[in-house]
Every structure is written in structure tokens, then in C-alpha cells.
């Protein structure tokens, strides 16, 4: 009985100690993010670019590279895509002809969108567009101003450190999925990155592992399910979190449950437990400020552009960046 009582007291003492350390830090971060949200102004970050590393590739530049390869492949191999529907087939033929001979015919944005929609597997498009509109309001009213203010106030090295720390915290999930996908070499790289960055890199703030030749990559359970052969399912738009699929949703739930911060913060309030997620949203949105703005300005249908970039991004991740250009859809972007 004495041993059992001592064990309970020790457990209770450890829990109180953990809460006394973690709770203030979480509350401070939460207040900071909330304060940014109320004091944000969309014009604060205008004209202020983010310093990008030479190895970082934006979504737009990635698309342009793929689009160029697709046009070259179409010209050499005379690729013909035949989605269902007479109107869509006609539009696709026109797109392919113009790719081989740009002077032969003019292509309208609507015809490009017709081809893109046929390849999208989006049976719930009306509902998805409603949710997409809701997410756009949240993004324009809350997330974008907060992200711009975050960029304006926080220096680039600090933002990079925050992003590195967030990625390092997810390394155990990547490691587990490396193993589940049967990729021991990538699992070794992930393990070494986590070990080096957690110690030498001050808890992941500094990406010291990359200097040692251990390049960053990410894996999630949605990708693991794809490797195991589970079909992706129809395209979905999830409130707040945006583009997804049934397979990706299942993967997100599994990854969240496996992430160390989930059970480390288990005894805290819902708001405090949500702080890492909010920090990740703001950090990730800040990194995409310029890309998203370019897409909004250049796309005839922003919804379709986001959908197609999400699709090709997931395919690229599943194939570890070794994606055949033949499976990349044409995007409605100039």
C-alpha cells in the first residue's frame, strides 16, 4: 500500500511539474497569435518579400516546370487524353492540338478548365465550392492578415527557426511512415535528422542535419495508405483545413494521434492543445503568401487551380518526387 501511494504521489507530482512548465509557454504563444489576429492589417506586409533559400521551390515554379515538361511530352509523343463526356473530349483534343501547334487554334480558359475538371474526381463539387468559399473568408479575414503581420514583425531567421522546430516535432511520424512504407534508407535519414537537430540544432530550431548531408523529406499515413494500394477517393474540401480526400483524412487522424505533442499536451485545455496546430497554420500560411496571391490573380478559377495543385502535390509526395509528367493534369494558370 505504501509503495502504491508513493507511486501515485510521484505520478501526480510529475503531472503538476509538466503542467507548470508547458502551460505558461502554451498560453504565451496563444495570446501572441490572438493578439496578431486582432492587430493585423493586410497592408502591413505589402512589398516585403520573404528571403527564400536556393533549394526552396514554390508551388508556382514547380507547376511551371511540370507544365513545360508536359508540353514537351505532348509535342514529342502526341499525348492524347480522353476523359468522359463529349464536350470535355472535344476540349481536350483542342488543348492537345494547341500544345503541338500553338498557332493552330486558340484555347479558352473554359476549355482548359473542362479538361482539368474531368480529371479531378470531384463529384461533390457544389458542396466543396461552398466550403471553399467559407475557407476563403476565414483566410482573407483572419489567417492572411495574421500571417502578414507575423512576417512583418518576426525576422526571417526567427520564422525559419519556428518552421524548423515544427518540422522536427513531426519527424517521429515521418520515421514511422518511412518504416511502414518499407523505406529503411529514408527512415535512417529521418532518424539522423531528428537526433542531430534535436541536440545540435537546439530542439530543431536550427537545421544542422542538412549541413551533414541528411536532406529533409516528409511522409504521412495518407501516403502510406497510398503505397499499400488504397484508392484516394473523391476530392473533398474540409472546413478550415482545406483540400483533402478520404484517404488523406484518415491519414491526418492517424498522424495527429501519433504526433508526440498530442499526448504531451493531453492534460491541457482544448485551446492550449490547439496552440501547436495554430502555430503550424500561421507558419505554413506565411510561407505561401506570395504563391497564393499569384494563383488568385492569374487563375480563371481559383478553386480548380487549388484542387489540381493539391492533387499533383499529393502524387508528387507519394512518389517521393519522382512523378511521371504524363499523370500531371493541365492547370488553369498562365
Residue 180 CA to residue 199 CA, distance in Å, equals 26
Long-range contacts of 27-35 (CB under 8 A, 24+ apart): 27/272, 29/275, 29/279, 30/271, 30/272, 30/275, 30/278, 33/146, 33/275, 33/278, 33/279, 33/282
- Segment 217-225 shows an average pLDDT of 96
Residue 115 CA to residue 265 CA, distance in Å, equals 46
SS3 category, 238: strand
> Of all helices (H) and strands (E), which one includes residue 30?
helix 2-39
Question: Nearest to residue 178, comparing CAs of 132, 142, 227, 140?
Answer: 227
Cell of 162: 519556428
Tens digits of residue pLDDT in 85-131: 444 445 445 544 554 454 444 545 555 555 555 567 999 999 999 99
> Of all helices (H) and strands (E), which one includes residue 325?
none
Contact in structure between 159 and 150 (CB atoms under 8 Å):
yes
Q: What is the pLDDT of residue 23?
A: 54
Q: How far is CA 329 from CA 142, 159, 232, 304, 315, in A?
A: 31, 33, 16, 11, 11
Q: What is the pLDDT of residue 270?
A: 86
Question: Nearest to residue 244, comparing CAs of 256, 228, 258, 232?
Answer: 232
- CA 307 distance to own-chain centroid: 13
Bridge partners for 68 per DSSP: none
Q: Judge whether residue 11 has pLDDT over 90.
A: no
Exposure of 154 in the CB half-sphere (CA atoms within 13 A): 21
- Segment 21-32 shows an average pLDDT of 47
Q: What is the pLDDT of residue 161?
A: 96
Tens digits of residue pLDDT in 132-167: 999 999 999 999 999 999 999 999 999 999 999 999
Q: What is the pLDDT of residue 119?
A: 64
Tens digits of residue pLDDT in 157-210: 999 999 999 999 999 999 999 999 999 999 999 999 999 999 999 999 999 999
Cell of 320: 517521393
Q: Judge whether residue 223 has pLDDT over 70.
A: yes
- CA 140 distance to own-chain centroid: 18
Determine whether 304 is exposed, middle or buried from the number of CB atoms within 10 Å of its CB (0-12, 13-18, 19+). Answer: buried
Q: What is the pLDDT of residue 331?
A: 44
Domain ranges of the chain: 2-66+123-327
Long-range contacts of 269-275 (CB under 8 A, 24+ apart): 271/30, 272/23, 272/26, 272/27, 272/30, 275/26, 275/29, 275/30, 275/33
Q: What is the pLDDT of residue 15?
A: 53
Residue 80 CA to residue 97 CA, distance in Å, equals 9
Q: What is the pLDDT of residue 330?
A: 44
Tens digits of residue pLDDT in 271-328: 888 888 899 999 999 999 999 999 999 999 999 999 999 999 999 999 988 765 444 4
Q: Judge whether residue 224 has pLDDT over 70.
A: yes
Q: Judge whether residue 51 has pLDDT over 50.
A: no
- Segment 224-229 shows an average pLDDT of 96
Q: What is the pLDDT of residue 144?
A: 96
Amino acid at each position: 500500500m505504501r509503495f502504491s501511494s508513493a507511486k501515485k504521489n510521484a505520478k501526480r507530482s510529475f503531472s503538476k511539474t509538466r503542467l507548470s512548465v508547458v502551460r505558461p509557454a502554451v498560453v504565451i504563444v496563444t495570446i501572441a497569435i490572438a493578439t496578431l489576429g486582432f492587430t493585423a492589417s493586410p497592408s502591413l506586409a505589402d512589398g516585403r518579400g520573404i528571403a527564400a533559400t536556393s533549394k526552396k521551390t514554390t508551388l508556382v515554379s514547380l507547376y511551371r516546370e511540370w507544365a513545360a515538361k508536359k508540353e514537351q511530352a505532348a509535342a514529342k509523343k502526341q499525348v492524347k487524353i480522353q476523359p468522359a463526356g463529349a464536350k470535355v473530349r472535344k476540349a481536350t483534343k483542342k488543348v492537345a492540338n494547341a500544345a503541338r501547334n500553338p498557332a493552330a487554334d486558340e484555347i479558352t480558359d473554359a476549355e482548359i478548365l473542362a479538361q482539368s475538371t474531368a480529371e479531378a474526381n470531384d463529384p461533390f463539387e457544389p458542396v466543396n465550392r461552398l466550403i471553399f468559399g467559407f475557407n476563403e473568408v476565414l483566410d482573407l479575414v483572419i489567417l492572411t492578415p495574421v500571417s502578414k503581420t507575423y512576417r512583418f514583425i518576426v525576422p526571417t531567421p526567427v520564422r525559419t527557426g519556428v518552421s524548423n522546430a515544427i518540422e522536427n516535432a513531426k519527424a517521429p511520424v515521418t520515421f514511422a511512415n518511412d518504416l511502414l512504407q518499407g523505406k529503411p534508407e529514408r527512415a535512417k535519414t529521418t532518424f539522423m535528422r531528428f537526433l542531430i537537430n534535436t541536440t545540435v540544432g537546439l530542439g530543431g530550431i536550427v537545421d544542422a542535419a542538412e549541413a551533414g548531408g541528411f536532406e529533409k523529406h516528409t511522409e504521412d499515413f495518407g501516403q502510406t495508405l497510398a503505397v499499400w494500394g488504397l484508392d484516394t477517393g473523391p476530392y473533398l474540401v474540409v472546413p478550415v483545413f482545406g483540400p483533402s480526400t478520404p484517404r488523406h483524412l484518415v491519414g491526418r487522424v492517424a498522424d495527429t494521434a501519433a504526433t508526440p505533442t498530442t499526448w504531451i499536451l493531453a492534460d491541457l485545455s482544448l485551446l492550449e492543445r490547439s496552440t501547436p496546430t495554430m502555430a503550424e497554420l500561421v507558419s505554413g500560411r506565411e510561407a505561401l503568401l506570395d504563391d497564393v496571391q499569384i494563383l488568385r490573380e492569374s487563375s480563371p478559377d481559383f478553386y480548380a487551380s487549388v484542387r489540381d495543385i493539391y492533387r499533383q502535390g499529393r502524387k508528387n509526395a507519394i512518389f517521393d518526387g519522382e512523378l511521371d509528367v504524363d499523370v500531371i493534369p493541365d492547370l488553369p494558370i498562365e
